[in-house]
Every structure is written in structure tokens, then in C-alpha cells.
Amino acid sequence: MSATGEALVEFDGVSVVFEGQVRALDDVTLAIRKGEIVGLVGESGSGKSTLCRILVGLTPPSSGTVNVGGLPVHRQLAQDPLAFRRRAQMLLQDAVASLSPRMTIGRALEEPIAIHKLPRGQTLEQLASILRRLGLPQDVMAKFPHQISGGQARRVGVARALLMRPEIVVADEPTAGLDVSVQGELLNLLLDLQQEFGLTYLLVSHNLNVIRRVTGRTAVMYLGQIVEAAATRDLFAAPAHPYTAALLSTNPAVDPRKRHKPIVLQGEIPSAVNPPTGCRFHTRCPVAQARCASEPPALVEIEAGRQVRCHFPFSLLKSGSDA
């Protein structure tokens, strides 16, 4: 994971408002360096998918700017949309549903070659080598999506994305629905390809074990905001935001010696139409104080490489270890 200092992706104060009232993203600032694997965690409705869609240019931000490679996404899309689409590729969560049932795998893989007017002979050679690299048999090309396994469909999705020689790959729940016995295989593949092609990943996952093992840095989202971003090792060792602490504590360990009592939050994630005043998490926060209900905290850097949106960082961690 050799991340260089150069930022490939920069979100700066990005907000998205749907239908004038649903604040799906609120003031998101996040940088992804070249060669880095950044994990994105949060529950449904936290804005993870909206953030991914903005990065690949499928949803325009309502305010704020998103740069990829130093240039605003909206300008790249206006000038040369196909070039930008090649640059930022997405692995969709439902790999089977993202393949047309009426097209053979071969046609689905060759279609982008025509759309992007890539040199056909050369690209088909690359495709054959990518398929070999992914362990997909050549005869998969003649099959229809219903004739291949879920794991194969996922690898077809990876092949389709890599063929465009992307700089950044957004992977939305790449292991969801995969059995544990094959999840390691897919993650190894993504890691190997990262080395081989110098890729940068934004990896969204519900699986905290996957995030911990694979990513270098992690951003935690709650109700449209980034509440904490830090080096993955630091985040798991000592979460600063009470929501991060609660979320990480819900991950039951198999080994009883490593098991700890989960922090059980009250209630569920509130509606983005009418988010709580002050800190958006204060309605469920076990250590909220009066100030949290009135004054919204800003995302501030509390130590090198760690940003937190909380008036009282590390307070849940402290109260938890006292109890």
C-alpha cells in the first residue's frame, strides 16, 4: 500500500440535497491519495452510496467541489465525459444484476471497447490477459449471466472495470453476499491488482473485519457527514468519535478472549429530512452533553492524520474503560 503524497481525489465541502429537503451529504471533505485504499463505513442512510456516486460523476453535488487528478469532476464530464468515465470506475454491489441477462459475458465485456472507441485487437488481447489473471476460463465469454456463479460474476465486473485502465476504483460492498471461504480470495485479487496496476480504491463495506485488514485509512459516516477519518490502525485501536466506538464495538469476535461488551446505542439513525439540531449524533450518543444539542461540531484535525466531528472526542472510550 504505497500511497504517495499526491491527492488523487479531493472532496471539499461537498453537500447533496435531494428534492430540496433530503440532505444526503452534508459538508463532506475527504482526500484520497494516489495508491491509497480508503475504507468507507456507516449504516444505511449515512450517505456512503451518494459519496461514491459523486466520485464517479453519477450524481452532481449541490454545493462544494470534487476534484479527480486536480480537475473538477463536472468540468471533466463536460469536456470529455468518456475520458472521465475511464478514469473513475465503479464495482457495483450486485454483480449479477449489473450484467444484462440478454447479453453474453463476452458481449458485455466487449461493449465498452466500442463505446470508448478503444483499439479493438489490442484491447481484446488485454482482456484475455485480465481474464486469465482473474482465473476466469475463456469459455465464460460465451455464457449468459445466469450460467455463471456469483463469484465469477464479481470477477467479470472487476474485468470490465480494469479494461478501462482506471486510476480510481470505487468498490461498493465487493464482498457482500460472498461466503467467507471465497471472500479472502476476492480481496487478495483486488490487492494484487492494486499493486500491479497502481490503482487507488475507495472501498465501501459493512464488514469491519474487511475494512481493518485491507484499508490504510478509514472514514466513518453518520447521517450524511464524515464523523471521523483516520489511519485504519489508529481508528480501530482507539476510536475518537462515540459513534465510531459504538460501531466498532458491534463486531463480535469469535475468540472469547478478544470479546468485549458491545456499546448498545438507543434508537435508530434519524431521518435525513429532519436531522437533529447541533451534533447529528447527539440523540443517540451515550456521552452527549448540553452543548451537543445546540452547537454542531466541525470536522477538526485533533491529531496528525485524524479528523473528528465531536466536541468531546475519546469521551466514550474513556467512560467505557472506566465502567
Partner 1 sequence: MMPLVSIRQLTLEAATTRGAAHILRGIDLDIGRRRIVGVVGESGSGKSSLAACLVRLLPANLSRIDGEIVFDGTDLLGLSEAAMNAYRGTRIAMIFQDPMTALNPLFTIGTHLVDVLRRRHPGLARKVATARAIAMLRRVGIADASLRFSSYPHQLSGGMRQRVLIAMALLVEPDLLLADEPTTALDATVEAQIVALLEELRHGFAGSIVFISHQLGLVAQLCDDLCVMYGGTVVETGPVADVLGAPRHPYTRALLACELDDDAAGGHLVSIPGDVPDPVSAHVACVFAPRCPHATNACRSSVPALRDAGPGRRAACMRMEELG
Binding footprint of partner 1 on the chain (CB under 8 A): 43-44, 149, 179-185, 187-188, 206-210, 212-214, 232-233, 246-247, 249-256, 258-259, 262-265, 268-269, 284
Q: Which is nearer to partner 1, 120 or 260 (CB)?
A: 260
Q: Which is nearer to partner 1, 90 or 246 (CB)?
A: 246
Shortest distance (Å) from residue 112 CB to partner 1: 29
Distance CA 160, CA 139 (A): 16
Kindly give the pairing relationship between strand 71-72 and strand 88-91. unpaired
Provide φ and ψ at 299, rounded to 5°: -80, 110
Which residue has cell 494484487?
192
Report the candidate in 230, 250, 94, 236 with the shortest Cα–Cα distance to residue 173: 94
Shortest distance (Å) from residue 94 CB to partner 1: 15
Shortest distance (Å) from residue 258 CB to partner 1: 7
First to last CA, the chain: 38
Shortest distance (Å) from residue 182 CB to partner 1: 6
Reading the block at residue 203, the C-alpha cell is 472501498
Strand order in the sheet with 37-41: 88-91, 168-172, 200-204, 37-41, 217-222, 225-231, 306-308, 300-303
Shortest distance (Å) from residue 250 CB to partner 1: 4
Q: Which is nearer to partner 1, 254 or 290 (CB)?
A: 254
**Biggest CA-to-CA distance, the chain:** 66
Reading the block at residue 143, the C-alpha cell is 455464457
Q: Which is nearer to partner 1, 14 or 263 (CB)?
A: 263
Reading the block at residue 72, the C-alpha cell is 473538477
Q: Which is nearer to partner 1, 188 or 294 (CB)?
A: 188
Shortest distance (Å) from residue 102 CB to partner 1: 21
Q: Which is nearer to partner 1, 72 or 270 (CB)?
A: 270
